[in-house]
Amino acid sequence: MKELVKRIRQFAKERDWVQFHSPKNLSMALSIETAEIMEHFQWKTTEESRKLDEETFNEVKDEIGDTFVYLLRLCDELDIDPLQAANDKMLKNAEKYPVAKAKGNSKKYTKL
């Protein structure tokens, strides 16, 4: 993953794009890419979304690639380690959603 982070930073540097890469702008780019993932699923049933044809699968994979690229670029600019951020947040999520209360239940923790 560290190599990928460097590769993405290098890509931006070569194109003189770091000037555009404020956290604000990157958060917009990240959100736009996730909308492009959703675009493939919006009219599908949940069942259909589990069995994609090859063409759609490859398009979704590309959008996931772009999403990960912007997530890593944002983390790089903010000096955040995404693995640590996710692991730390999982601890908080475990407290918000104890198994006994959350089992089989999709409600938000504020409504459990």
Q: Among residue numbers 91 through 110, which ones bind its own copies (CB under 8 A)?
A: 92-94, 97, 99, 102-106, 108
Site size for its own copies, by CB under 8 A?
75
57 touches its own copies by CB under 8 A: yes
69 touches its own copies by CB under 8 A: yes
49 touches its own copies by CB under 8 A: yes
Residue 91: DSSP 8-state: H
Tokens of residue 106, six digits:
């999709």
Interatomic CA distance for residues 46 and 36, integer angstroms? 17
9 touches its own copies by CB under 8 A: no
Give start and end residues of each alpha helix (H) in the chain: 2-14, 23-39, 46-50, 54-78, 82-96, 99-102
Distance of CA 22 to the CA centre of its chain: 18
Q: Which of residues 20-39 bind its own copies (CB under 8 A)?
A: 20, 22-25, 27-32, 34-39
88 touches its own copies by CB under 8 A: yes
